[in-house]
Amino acid sequence: MFTKAEKERRVVELYEQDYNYREIAQEVHMSLSDISSIVRRHTGEVQIKTNGEQAQTTIDTKAFKLFEEGKTPVQVAIDLDLKSNEVGRLYKEWWQLKGLHQLNQLYEEIGDDIFQFHRTYKYIKDRGYTPHQLIEVANHLDYLPLLRSEREQLTQEIQNLALQKDQLNESITFARMELNGINLGIDVQTKEFERLSNEKRQYESFVASANTSPGYQQVLRIAEAAAGDILKQNQVVLGVALRALFQALKDEPRNELQLLIYGSLTYPIYESRYGNMPRNHLQLRQAVILQAAEEVYNDLLAKAVSTTMASALYTQSRKS
């Protein structure tokens, strides 16, 4: 087994003896590209020996030229009698050289701005965008001021909505506080209503039991008698009559009030106890006054009885 250095020396020896690359490869079992590299390092030239004749191009150069002419890797392998792996290597190198050439042209065109383009590319790549999308954006740069203005307007609207939201939340908070106060007041009023309802039921129960008690009728008779005694007093009765008169005269028309007064002083007062109907307008107005007086008297009698009964029942309940 030869070492790498021994193989390189053997390649140089065979090259000096005018062996071509293919013959050298068969002898040392190395690839044509490796042999070409060794020879170039030895001679410092790009010339190689092929079939004993000098040539101005290498295998690499021939392959690159064929690739530039549009030949496929298969066609290059056939034309140059190369192995598939060797053609694959040359094809990759050709693409790399083309890329470097295009990169150089690009740098000559845009200069140091290429670094800005590279940063832009990394920016859009990190955010998941594509160069095509960036080109689409560039095509709409004229609309950028309008979009910026709309964005600022939307931002302002969003801020206004946020402020309105805060104000609304504050109003809701105050409303909830007021509602809690109202609910508290309702609770207090409910409890007070329940207390009064209980007292009312107690009084009603007491009154109901009093109505059925043997002494209730006696109390009622005493109250009616007391009320009758009150109404027998002349001043009270005259006061009732005067109140009834004022109540009736309140609705009298002015042009009939004088006729009613002087007519009642001249002619007898209408009396309804005999079942007679009023015979003229004067008696009709007198009947209205008498009816009002009777209603006031009955109301006064009911109040007197109620007051006397309440006083009597209260006194009895206190004793109980």
155 and 193 inside one domain: yes
Q: 34 vs 225, which has greater pLDDT?
A: 34
Q: Indicate if 106 and 39 belong to the same structural domain.
A: yes
DSSP state letter for 3: -
Q: Looking at the structure, do residues 315 and 222 belong to the same domain, yes or no?
A: yes
pLDDT in tens, 167-191: 889 888 878 888 888 888 888 888 8
What range does the domain containing 28 cover? 4-110
For 47-92, how does the pLDDT look when each residue is reduced to its tens digit (9 = 90+)?
A: 444 444 344 357 888 888 898 898 999 998 888 888 888 888 888 8
| 280 within domain boundaries | yes
Find where tokens 């030949």 sit: 71
Please give the Cα distance from 111 to 131 (Å, whole number): 20
Do 53 and 36 share a structural domain?
yes
**124 belongs to a structural domain:** no
Instruction: Write down the residue that tokens 């290429």 correspond to.
Output: 114
Within a domain: residue 44?
A: yes
Judge whether residue 312 has pLDDT over 70.
Answer: no
Among 149-158, 280-289, 305-314, the range scoring the smallest mean pLDDT is 305-314
According to DSSP, the residues that pair with 55 across neighbouring strands are 48
pTM of the model: 0.28
Instruction: Check whether residue 169 and residue 195 sit in a common domain.
Output: yes
- My answer on whether 186 and 218 are in the same domain is no
> What letter represents residue 128's amino acid?
G
Residue 19 is classified by DSSP as -
Return the pLDDT at 158.
92
In a domain? residue 300 = yes
- pLDDT (tens digit per residue) in 134-170: 787 778 777 778 878 888 889 899 999 998 998 889 8
Write out the two tokens for 212: 């059925």
Q: In this predicted model, what pLDDT tens digit does every residue of 85-142 receive, in sequence order? A: 888 888 888 878 777 666 666 677 777 787 787 788 888 888 888 877 778 777 877 7
Count of structural domains within the chain: 3
Q: How far is the C-alpha of 60 from the C-alpha of 36, rounded, in Å? A: 9
Residue 97 lies in a domain: yes
Which of 212, 243, 271 is the C-terminal boundary of a domain? 212
Tokens of 287: 């009947």
